Each structure stands twice: as structure tokens, then as C-alpha cells.
Chains A and B, each alone.
Chain A
Amino acid sequence: MGSAIEVHGLVKRYDGLAAVAGIDFEVPAGTVFAFLGPNGAGKTTTVEILEGLRRRTEGSVVVLGLDPWADGATLHRRIGVIPQDFHFFEKITPKEAIEYYRSLFGSDADPGRLLAQVELLDKSGARFDTLSGGQKQKLGLALALANDPEVCFLDEPTTGLDPHARRAIWSVIRSLRQDGRTVFLTTHYLEEAQLLADRVAIIHRGRIIASGTPDQIIRAHGRPARLRVAGPPGLADLLAKELGVRARFEDGRIEVDLADKRDALRILGAIERSGLPWDSFTTHEDTLEDVFVRMVGRMDDGALKSEVPS
């Protein structure tokens, strides 16, 4: 499988300050790639460079074999883009908008089919300024598909949407992947990335701090699975003494790391035998969001500490 996007040594500086400080990644064709990062991390700058909307300072960027800045006009016929906070002409309806794009691209896109695909068919005759936030984003997505693109750039497409609208867009993203298109997704929602993406990269302060499949990132940077039991502090002492595990008590719960799933059975058996009162139990594994929050938080703490004069 060839790469749809190749980025090497990408740097973007504004007035000497690096918004993107030398990043490398590749996106295989036909996959969903999630680009994650906190606000101001350099996500949008990177995606705009890939779309040919912004000039890079250094490095090499190739999308579908083209330089996005130099070959923008050619590239734009082969990509679809939904920008952050999509806006369109206020008095124009979704059907007219797709007809407009169809004329501009000279494509044969069917407005009815595209609007049905993004679940907006019932609003095909409503003016843009009467649509809800979610409906506007759906129109943005439909327009991004009007030229039958090979690569779709979706910049925070579900930000601010209700859960139903968000799931509708997820469904479209899955169908894009099934059609063999490449999707470059930036998002704040880690759950979204974990559900949809084949590969993920986390950018922070202009540098990529982790990349791989969601599972790889969780394995590499996440904590072990944990068992949590609601019970008295004495339970923690008992487990430490009897099983030699490290048990922590906090907020009425005991938390024990699990090296193996069978450990959970051993621990629960010991608790039951102790005769001490206990209530519910849960097991917990790190999600991509847990990993993201901890990695970014750790880096921010480090940065803060390094700024404190000794």
C-alpha cells in the first residue's frame, strides 16, 4: 500500500516562533489517520500546509505525489476538505451548494445522494443560515465529497456537535474508508480517534510525541490495567500483606495494578476470604484519552518546572 501523504522534517515558523517544529509521518493510502493534539499544538497549521492553504517554512510535504503549495490547483481537484468551523453563503441551500461545487469541479455529483450520505436530505431546501451547527458541518462534509476526492481532510469535523450528529459523521468517515479513500482527521475527541483511526499521531508544542496504532500507543505509554474495589482502607493493607501487591486507597476505593487478568480473580478471592466489608468492583484499562492527557500533562508540567528559576 503506497503512501497518500508523506511529511518529512516539516517546520512552520511565524515571526521566528515555530508552530510546527520538525515533524515526520506518513499516511498509507486508504486508511484513516488521526492527528491529535491540544489547542495550539500545531494541528491546524499542519493540516493547512497539507491542503496547500499555507506555505511551509522547511521540510518536504507530498500529498498524492504533489507538492501542496506549488501544485495546489491540481491537488485541489483530488482532495476534499472540511475546515474547522465550516461557513458557507448564508442564503444558499445545501442542494444549491452541491450543484455549485459540481459546476465548479465539473463533476457529476448527485446532490440527493450526497445529502442522503451525510443524513441531510431533509434539509436540502433549507438556507444555510437556518441550519444547526451539526447540519452545517454535514453540509461541509457533503461538499468535501462533491469532487469524489482521493484524500479527505477533516479538521475537527465533530467539534460542538451533539452525540447523534457526531455519530452520523463517524458513519460517513467509516464509509469513506470502505470506499478506499484516505482520511486525515484532526480531532479533540480521543474516543473518536480510537474508534475510527487506523493510525494516530499526537502533536504537542509543534512536535510529534507519539505515533502508531491506538493500541500501540496505549501499550507503549499507558499504565497497566487496574482493579478498583469499593471498601475500607484495611483492605488495602490486607492485600499488600497477603498477596504482596501494591494497593492504593483513595476516595473510598482500593486500586490494585493487574500484571495479568488472572490477578483480578486472586485479589477478589482474597477480599472475599478476609471477611471485611466490600461493595462493587470494576476493572479499568487506559484509553487513548488517558494516555493523551497524561503525556501532554507530563510535558506541560516539565515545561512549567523548567521555567521556574532555581
Chain B
Amino acid sequence: MKPSRIGADFRIVYRSYSRNPVALFFSLIFPIILIGLFGLIFSSIGSTSATLVVLNEDHNSHDSQRFLSALNNTSLVSIKLESVAPADFATWLGQNDYSAGMIIPAGFQGNASNNTTTNLTLFVNPQDSATEGEVLTAVQGVAAAFNLEAKCGGATNCTPVIALAPLRNVGSQVYTYIDYLIPGLIGFSILTSPMFSLVDVSSSYRKEGIFRQLSLTPLTRAEWLTARVVWYVMLTFAAAGIMIGTGVYGFGAHVTLTLGMIPFLVVGPFFFVSLGMLCGTVSKTPEAAALIGNIVTFPMMFLSGTFFQVSSFPPDLAAVAHALPLYYVIDGMNQVMLFQNSTRAFTDFLVVLVASVVVFVLAVRLFQWRDER
């Protein structure tokens, strides 16, 4: 590969793209519109039993057991007991993809006996509104029943034995839906811009004979594809900057800007440029290419954690999500931008990197400049 040829081709891509207002709109402006829309609209998802991770500091006392059993019986939540340091509980939930957690503090049973209020701390994920709703309904309902039955006994002005502390968020700090949306929409941009463009370009250039024309020059297929990877990496950095800026200054989002984002902003476009090229290459006509591109793109767009947390999906759908490369891009960015979990981010990065190399090599091998018949 010769850098001067990649540079020459890069200039062609840059000029073609920068002179195409529609392409620029979909790459740089459309994600901002999505941030605005999703920031304002609180969506809901059909319900299944939500997992509530419980940290029982009252050492499985009788009352705390009874409380948890009652929660389980609501069928709204499924209790999962864990043992984590309370101070790390929020971070731990985020790192392990749980959308809801609860701490039962030590002294729960004693307080109940003394008619003293115990504050339960609930952790929720604002991006997973369905789980938040289910958990709140279950906990508030069971707490009300406990208060009535066990202590107040119909008397007025009694002190409730269970109260809810202000809600806290999953993760190491207080996050809003928009915080989760930013990594998701950066992933959306990483997916859509190169995929739609490369699928179209690879089939239409073949139909118009531009690839045949290029095959008569010293430019190689790998150089051609590399120039596009470089362009989409730069475009992704620009789009990510705009989206983070809009999120932070327009909607008060909290995200950590870290160098750990860079690998995902590089490897993501690398993968999807190659995948777009592959889809266009295996299609015989531009129409077939568009169809294949859409079949590949749309499930990834919605199932990879772009708009909704994968942890809120039913198990079968979550398994599908884990097979999608975009999931690892978005999860990796969530890990570095929200949860500071570099170990898991590194694993995500490796998955995308290996997939990218495989798809790049396949695209270059299958993509023919000239007619091999």
C-alpha cells in the first residue's frame, strides 16, 4: 500500500462527500436530531419480569427475607442476591448490565420491630424506563403493604417502617437517559454513514464502470478501501464531537471524555466501511445491494443498544444483540464513557478489531475491479 495513492483517493472521497449536502446532513446533522428527539421522548417497552439485584445488608434477616419474597411474588421483578461493597454497588450494576438494584440496609429487622423507618435505596437506569417502572411499582406496592400490615395496623399517623430513599442511578454517578443515548447514537452514526454509503458506492461504481476505470490505474483495492476507512474515521470523530457537544451543552448530559473512546471511533468505521463494501460486492445490482444493506443494517440499528439498553431485552433478543458487532462498539463506549470499566471495554475492542480485520480481508478479496469471467 502506498500512502500517496491513499492520500490522492482520500482527497477524492473528501471532495465528493463535502460537496454532497445530503450525505453531510445524514452524517452530522441527523444524529443531533435523533439526540433531540430521544432526549425529549421517553419511550416504553413491553414488560417482562425485570431483574432486581439486591444487596441485603441485613444479613438475610427474617423480615428482609419476607420482604424479598413478597417482591418476588408480584411477578414484576425477579430477585437476584449479590454481595458487593455498598459504595461500589452502582458502578457494579452498570458494569454488569443490570438496570435495577436495591440496598436493604443493616438494621432493617430491628427498625421494623422498633417502628423506625428504614430507607431502601433503589438504583435504576434512566435509559431502561420499563425496568424502572416495574421495579418502582413492585417495591412501592410491597412496602405499602408492609407498612399497613406490620406496623400501622389501621392506626393513623403511624411511622412507616419502609421508605424509599431518593432514586439513584446505575453507574458511578447520576446519569440521565441522554447520557446513555450519546454513546448509542455515536454507534448509530458509526453504523449508518459508512454502511449506506459504501453499499451504494460499491454497487453503483461497478455498474457505471468506475471500478474498471480505477483498475487501469496503479490504485489497489486495499488502498481504495483504506482511503474510505480513513475518511469515515475522521467523519466519526467530527460526528462524535458534535453529538457530545449537543448532548452536554444542549441537554446537560454527563459523559466522560477519555482517550479510551478513540479505539472505538477508529475500529467502528473500519468494520462498517468493510462490511458495506462486502454487502455491495456480493450483490449483483444496486437494488439488491440496497436490500442486503438494509437487511444487515436495520436489525443492528435497533438491537445493539443504540436507543435501548440490551439488558432490558428478553433473553432471546439479548442473545441476538450479543451476536451483532455494533453491540460491542456501543457497549465499549458505554464502558469507557460511563462506567470506566476498561477491562470490559478492551474485550469489546478486541471483538470488533478481529471482526474488522476478517471483514476487511474478505471485502478486499471478493471485491473485483475487473471481470474475472
Contact = CB atoms under 8 A, between A and B. Distances in A.
Nearest to B213: A83
Contacts, number: 74
18 contacts: A53-B215, A53-B216, A53-B371, A54-B370, A54-B371, A55-B372, A76-B218, A86-B209, A88-B210, A89-B210, A91-B20, A92-B12, A96-B12, A100-B9, A103-B8, A104-B218, A106-B218, A127-B19
B217 A105 contact: yes
B212 interface: yes
Given A53-B371, A73-B218, A87 B16 contact: no
Given A76-B218, A88-B213, A54 B373 contact: yes
B130 interface: no
A64 to B, nearest CB: 14
B260 interface: no
Q: Which among A48, A73, A87, A92 has the greatest number of chain B C-beta atoms within 10 A?
A: A87
A72 B372 CA distance: 13
Nearest to A80: B216
Contacts of B7: 103
A interface residue count range (under 10 / 10 to 19 / 20 to 34 / 35 or more): 20 to 34
Contacts of A100: 8-9, 11-12
B24 to A, nearest CB: 12
Contacts of B209: 83, 85-87
A104 B217 CA distance: 7
Interface in B337-372: 370-372
Interface in B1-16: 4-5, 7-9, 11-12, 15-16
Interface in A98-133: 99-101, 103-106, 127
Contacts of A179: none
Interface of A: 14, 48, 51-55, 72-73, 76-77, 79, 81, 83, 85-92, 96, 99-101, 103-106, 127, 143
B219 interface: yes
B16 A53 contact: no
A151 to B, nearest CB: 12
B48 to A, nearest CB: 49
B316 interface: no
B149 interface: no
A79 B12 CA distance: 23
A91 B16 contact: yes
Contact of A90 (B16, B217, B371): B16
Contacts of A87: 208-210, 213
Closest 3 CB pairs of A and B: A103-B8, A91-B19, A87-B208
Contacts of B11: 96, 100
Contacts of A53: 212, 215-216, 370-371
Residue among B5, B8, B20, B216 with the most chain A CB within 10 A? B216
